[in-house]
Structure 1
Amino acid sequence: MNATDESIRTYEVRTYGCQMNVHDSERLAGLLEDAGYVRAGEGEAADVVVFNTCAVRENADNRLYGNLGHLRPAKVRNPRMQIAVGGCLAQKDQGEIVRRAPWVDVVFGTHNIGSLPALLERARVQREAQVEIKESLEVFPSTLPTKRESAYAAWVSISVGCNNTCTFCIVPSLRGKEKDRRPGDVLAEVRALVEQGVLEITLLGQNVNTYGVEFGDRFAFGKLLRACGDVEGLERVRFTSPHPAAFTDDVIAAMAETPNVMHQLHMPLQSGSDRILKAMRRSYRAERYLGIIERVRAAMPDAAISTDIIVGFPGETEEDFQATLDVVRQSRFANAFTFQYSIRPGTPAATMDGQVPKEVVQERYERLVALQEEISWAENRAQVGKVVEVLVAEGEGRKDDATHRLSGRAPDNRLVHFTPGDEIPRPGDVAQVEITYAAPHHLVSDTPARSVRRTRAGDAWASRNATPQPSGAKGVMLGMPTIGRPPSTPSPAHACAPTP
């Protein structure tokens, strides 16, 4: 297939924000390829450029409109070119996008990503912009075709939306109330993925541990973890992100007792001050949070725990900030994704009194980062001498490293750079390595890998990369045969958290 053929239309999806958006972009790519589009090659100008936007990051709108402005000359040069804007910022701004950037062809929201191919065609035929924003979910997005980036690891959505009302967060108003998939549908997708070579899945939701409340089973998430343990061939199960207020002991037991559920937990703290947590409408306090950490470590002493923290929330005093530092010291996080608070229009926090001066926020942020770096490094040094199984990753190698190390993730999700032995593992294979050195954000194995285990995931990666593909094609189409398809690292683990 020649992507320069006039009958072939190429596409590019540009993703901003959280894991939810990353997974949605896999669906957008799947939809476009189902409709006959071909991914544009590296450095090639695409006929269709899709922006999957985030409304959480600071200056998200300025970044979007700046990128749209850069594309305007290319659109003038190429009459075939179309520009589409979707995601959370599209859901929030709606018709404002076309008003500010009239060269945009399509605007679609978080609830109707399945409409993209039809909207592009309608805009092409009618020669006018199409804006379609639905206020509620009609088709669960996991039923849509998906062009997954990895042949060996996959996201699996178990819910969309959020029922919380955190004062700093705009996500519930853009993603809607929580909607849960039935367990049978989730497990059908997991089994289908494993049959196609996937070795690791991450269960994804805004608040995974409230899963099941919609259909009346508050223990559904723990049951789902245990059910994943019965899927033959599935070696690693992760999830993101739980909410501390809804975190229950049955989930800890499921993690500890299900062999393929990894001893890794990402649980957002946001603040260690009870006063600030109340102002954030986070319905837990520091004592409860620390109690969860204690019970997790009692059940799984090797658990690696990470978190999200916001510095400089309105009204935060030095005493409040010290309370956050105290919780960080006690929690001994493997790593933390730290954010400086910034105003998000449309959130209650945006109009609160006591907005903290930028220079104060910056100084506190630097102190928090320094403390967490110290803790992360100490926690990583405790790994030296251990032998771990690394799931070899694609694209995480140290290209500037004269030893040509490969990279991958340990069971606890720590990044490991390792020296291969005589047998070179493929992405998706598993290498057993001894940790010889620790840095704050990664581990190193300087001795040759002790062994390499070839896996079906590695076979799937090799098969995908051995098959001739159209120019620029990357990724693998993994469908949902049991459910049907209607026609239509390191990043923060929290589903709502912005990626670096």
Structure 2
Amino acid sequence: MEESLRTYKVVTYGCQMNVHDSERLSGLLEQAGYAKAVGDGDPDLVVFNTCAVRENADNKLYGNLGRLAPAKQANRGMQIAVGGCLAQKDRETIVRKAPWVDVVFGTHNIGHLPALLERAAVEREAQVEILESLETFPSTLPARRESAYAAWVAISVGCNNTCTFCIVPALRGKEEDRRPGDILAEVEALVAEGVVEVTLLGQNVNAYGSDLGDREAFGKLLRACGQVEGLERVRFTSPHPRDFTDDVIAAMAETPNAMHQLHMPLQSGSDRILKAMRRSYRQERFLGIIEKVRAAMPDAAISTDIIVGFPGESDEDFEQTLHVVREARFANAFTFQYSKRPGTPAAEMDDQIPKAVVQERYERLVALQEEISWEENKKQVGRRLEVLVAEGEGKKDDRTDRLSGRAPDNRLVHFTRPEGGVRPGDMVTVEISYAAPHHLLAEGPVLGVRRTRAGDAWEKRRAAPAAKPAGVMLGLPGIGVPAPAAVPGGDGCGTC
């Protein structure tokens, strides 16, 4: 009788880069003979892909590890692995606090996971392997893409900035850029598989080219993506104001499939606080970029990240942040209360702001941004938009008989389910009838449905029986993961 495949689950915390890394981890495991777990039972392998930027990231990890301890005790063949930024930072601490963990691996050696799991099983002891520099660019590894119609494409890894609140550069290393030809080859391969939307991904995505000696490389890459036949939408995240140049704005405006959507992290509107953060721009520079983007693309939807309560932030500093929010009129903002991150310079700064003060400022900021988001969304009422139908975007879709998707500017749109049916990856034309702060509604009938290769790909994937993965079984004794959820922005740089 054929041996059943060992099942796996990957639990992802943090940024888009982690979500993309988790797709690579899933691809590696399936190539090694694992099958993605379905249902509520414990899988044979659980992999935690961690983040060191989010608040209480370590508490969340150790809490989940603790909940798995009884399952591991009951099934000695079960394996648990911890990777990502927190693993890179804490290393042996994880095994000391949770001795039932089998493998700890870092951000630079995700390709070693299958071998480390096998070694842990054979040697019956935890394997801790943390490399200090990148060995293999993650995009060269196999991937199990979560979406049939949209894909992340990493163009660089690492970051050369030294923001005082962020530990990412210490954990992911200096920026390393992929060759443009390799990136475009991946994009073309994805489009051939049915993908119609790609998001170019980097810790500081528009610094792309600094490792290649070409300051205009990112704008050139955007334009090159515009030449890929069948690619309908190109996005990127997250840029840094320091490196956001006029040639990139021109490339966005002049490339037909480059979406008029921009996530531009502000962090603070105060020049004094920006200096303390080591953010190499000031309020005037930031607002100048917004003005240029809107001049070139009046319909652009701009979002941001903001940290409230950075050490030393005065009432006047906070008022400067509110001023920028009013002037920039962001479509939405990911707002965070500052909290100490061990290992960052900001954690050791004097004049940490009392929690009550931070909370009060945070609530004022959120209220202001909610008001602006609603006003900006109301401007969409009456417009006809082509929406890329998505899977899992609308939590109430089943109850409301609606479907959901993304407009070209990335606004979330809920629309009436068409009578003829429509698939994730297809395009629908709708007229917006109502706006809320965080979404748009098209309550009338769908005006048009365009079936796409992406919808075909989604349908084919859904209909395909679970195939036995390529590769050989690892011969592990026996056992036991979540669909990754991106959290845009972060209490750090744009991507983390």
TMscore range, shorter length: over 0.9
- Which residue of structure 1 lines up, in the alignment, with residue 341 of structure 2? 344
Query: Could you tell me how far apart the structure 2 residues matched to 1:490 and 1:109 are?
Result: 20
Q: 1:491 aligns with which of 475, 487, 494?
A: 487
Secondary structure of the corresponding residue to residue 250 of structure 2: helix
Quick one: which of 397, 404, 411 aligns to 1:414?
A: 411
SS in 1 for 2:160: coil
Matching residue of 1:13: 10
TM-score, scaled to structure 2: 0.95
Q: 2:118 maps to which residue?
A: 121
Give matches, 1:277-296, under 5 Å. Answer: 277-296=274-293
**Preserved contact between residue 229 and residue 259 of structure 1 (Cα < 8 Å):** yes
Task: Name the SS for the 2:163 alignment partner.
Answer: coil
d(CA) in 2 for partners of 1:403, 1:433: 17
Q: Judging changes above 3 Å, is the alpha-carbon distance between structure 1 residues 83 and 109 closer, same or farther for their aligned structure 2 residues?
A: same
Q: Which runs of 5+ in 1 are unaligned?
A: 474-488
Is 1:242 aligned to 2:239, yes or no? Answer: yes
Bigger RCO of structures 1 and 2 (CA < 8 A, at least 6 apart): 2
* Distance in structure 2 (CA, Å) of the matches to 1:308 and 1:278: 17
Q: 2:74 aligns with which of 59, 71, 77?
A: 77
1:31-78: CA deviation from partner (whole Å, max 9, x where unpaired): 000000011112121111000000001111111111111101000111
How many Å apart are 1:269 and its aligned residue? 0.1
Deviation at 1:401, TM superposition (A): 6.0
| Higher mean C-alpha displacement, 220-229 vs 392-401 | 392-401
Offset of residue 279 of structure 1:
0.1
Q: Give the direction of change, closer, same or farther, for the CA distance of 1:232–1:13 in structure 2 (3 Å limit).
A: same
How far is 1:395 from its partner? 1.2
Match of 2:447 among 440, 447, 450: 450
Matched, 1:218 2:215: yes
The CA distance in 2 between the partners of 1:259 and 1:491, in whole Å, is 27
Contact 2:426 2:454 in 1 (8 A): yes
Distance (Å, rounded) in 2 between the aligned partners of 1:492 and 1:328 = 18
Q: 2:357 aligns with which of 346, 357, 360?
A: 360
Aligned to 1:148, the other structure's residue is in SS state coil
One-letter code of the match for 2:488? P
Residue 30 of structure 1 deviates from its aligned partner by 0.3
For the 8 Å contact 1:391–1:428, the answer to whether it is kept is yes
Give 1:102's aligned residue.
99
Q: What are the residue-to-residue correspondences of 1:420-459 with 2, within 5 Å? A: 420-459=417-456
How many Å separate the matches in 2 of 1:284 and 1:226? 26
Alignment of structure 1 residues 98-497 onto 2, 5 Å: 98-399=95-396, 402-469=399-466, 491-493=487-489
Q: Distance in 1 between matches of 2:45 and 2:171?
A: 25
1:423 CA drift (Å): 2.1
SS in 1 for 2:443: strand
Separation in structure 2 between the aligned mates of residue 321 and residue 396 of structure 1, nearest angstrom? 33
Q: How many residues align?
A: 481
Once residues 451 and 111 of structure 2 are traced to their aligned partners in structure 1, the CA distance between those partners, rounded to angstroms, is 37
One-letter amino acid matched to 1:161: G
Deviation per residue, 1:331-385 (Å, 9 max, x gap) = 0000000000000000000000110000100000000000000000000000000
1:232 is matched by which residue type in structure 2?
A: E
1:31 to 2:28 alignment: yes
Give the equivalent residue in structure 1 for 2:19.
22
Distance of aligned partners of 1:323 and 1:340 in 2 relative to their CA distance in 1, 3 Å threshold: same
Q: Secondary structure at the match of 2:404?
A: strand
* Residues 9 and 282 of structure 1, relative CA distance in 2, 3 Å threshold: same
Query: What SS does structure 2 have at the residue aligned with 1:61?
Result: helix
Amino acid at match of 2:383: K
Output the CA distance in 2 between the equivalents of 1:498 and 1:184. Answer: 25
Offset of 1:493 from its aligned partner? 4.6
Q: Shift of the alpha carbon at 1:399? A: 3.3
Question: Contact between 1:423 and 1:452, CA under 8 Å: does it hold in 2?
Answer: no
| Deviation readout 1:115-174 (Å, 9 max, x if unpaired) | 000000000011111000000001101000000000000000000000000000000000
Question: Quick one: distance in 1 between partners of 2:158 and 2:148?
Answer: 27
The root-mean-square deviation of aligned C-alpha atoms, in Å, is 1.7
**Which residue identity does 2:292 align to in structure 1?**
R
Partner of 1:52: 49
* Contact 1:433-1:451 at 8 Å conserved across structures: yes
- Partner of 2:266: helix, strand, or coil? coil
Verify the 8 A CA contact 1:155 1:204 in the aligned structure 2. yes
Task: Name the SS of the counterpart of 1:164 in structure 2.
Answer: coil
Q: What corresponds to 2:480 in structure 1?
A: none
Aligned partner of residue 41 in structure 1, secondary structure = coil
CA distance in 2, matches of 1:301, 1:12: 43
Amino acid at match of 1:265: L
Q: Which residue of 1 aligns with 2:476?
A: none
Identity of aligned residues (%): 77
Deviation at 1:468, TM superposition (A): 1.5
* Deviation, structure 1 residue 8: 1.9
Q: CA deviation at 1:420?
A: 2.6
Hey, what's the Cα distance between the residues in 2 that align with 1:189 and 1:357? Answer: 48
Q: Where does the alignment leave 5 or more consecutive residues of structure 2 unmatched?
A: 470-484
d(CA) in 1 for partners of 2:493, 2:289 = 21
